[in-house]
């Protein structure tokens, strides 16, 4: 069965992303088209990139990199839950992505973002990164506003209409993950 990782891309204490990622995961697990797993960057404790060789060489020497690589390699596609920090991607998420190369290739990726402008600028940066890593980013995305989807900017209360956007994003991620399967098998 197709496996989709839902990556929680913030490690900040008190992060809003934890509630968002659990919401996405809860909606995803109601489906029967794939297996969904929540992957929290906090659990991997990745330092700033500390591998001697470029990730494209696949010669990982650090145990934390090997553990992270095995987890990412186990999925066929991803949904990345990301805040927008300073018009871009959180440093911890960018670092986690940069640790690996082949483990991301030929897999689909969708985005759920949040911020004052829905996190859309972080997603635009992630789309560029995904292209470099030979990932297929899907068109549909979920953009959550700190002003309307969070009470006091911290208690997650998404509008019901966002459920349909999550569904559309998951539909596309699963479809593209399945379509890319022959490339991953090659």
| Euclidean distance between CA atoms 100 and 174, whole angstroms | 22
* Percent residues over pLDDT 70 in the chain: 100
Model confidence over 119-156: pLDDT tens digits? Answer: 999 999 999 999 999 999 999 999 999 999 999 999 99
| Euclidean distance between CA atoms 178 and 126, whole angstroms | 21
| Euclidean distance between CA atoms 26 and 29, whole angstroms | 5
Tokens of 106: 């030929």
DSSP at 41: G
Model confidence over 12-43: pLDDT tens digits? Answer: 999 999 999 999 999 999 999 999 999 999 99
> What is the DSSP track for 158-178?
--TTHHHHHHHHHHHHHHHHH
* Percent residues over pLDDT 90 in the chain: 99
**Overall fold of domain 3-185:** Rossmann fold (3.40.50)
């Amino acid at each position: 069965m197709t496996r989709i990782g839902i990556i929680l891309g913030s490690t900040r204490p008190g992060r809003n992303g934890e509630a968002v990622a659990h919401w996405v995961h809860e909606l995803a697990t109601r489906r029967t088209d794939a297996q969904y797993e929540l992957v929290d960057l906090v659990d991997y404790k990745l330092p700033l990139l500390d591998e001697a060789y470029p990730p494209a060489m696949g010669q990982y020497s650090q145990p934390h990199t090997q553990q992270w690589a095995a987890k990412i390699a186990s999925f066929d596609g991803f949904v990345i839950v990301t805040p927008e920090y300073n018009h871009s991607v959180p440093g911890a998420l960018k670092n986690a992505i940069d640790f690996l190369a082949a483990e991301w290739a030929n897999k689909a990726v969708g985005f759920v973002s949040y911020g004052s402008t829905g996190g859309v600028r972080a997603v635009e940066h992630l789309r560029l990164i995904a292209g470099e890593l030979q990932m297929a980013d899907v068109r549909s995305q979920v953009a959550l506003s700190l002003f309307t989807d969070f009470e006091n900017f911290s208690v997650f209360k998404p509008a019901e209409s966002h459920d349909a956007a999550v569904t559309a994003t998951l539909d596309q991620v699963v479809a593209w993950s399945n379509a890319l399967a022959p490339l991953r098998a090659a």
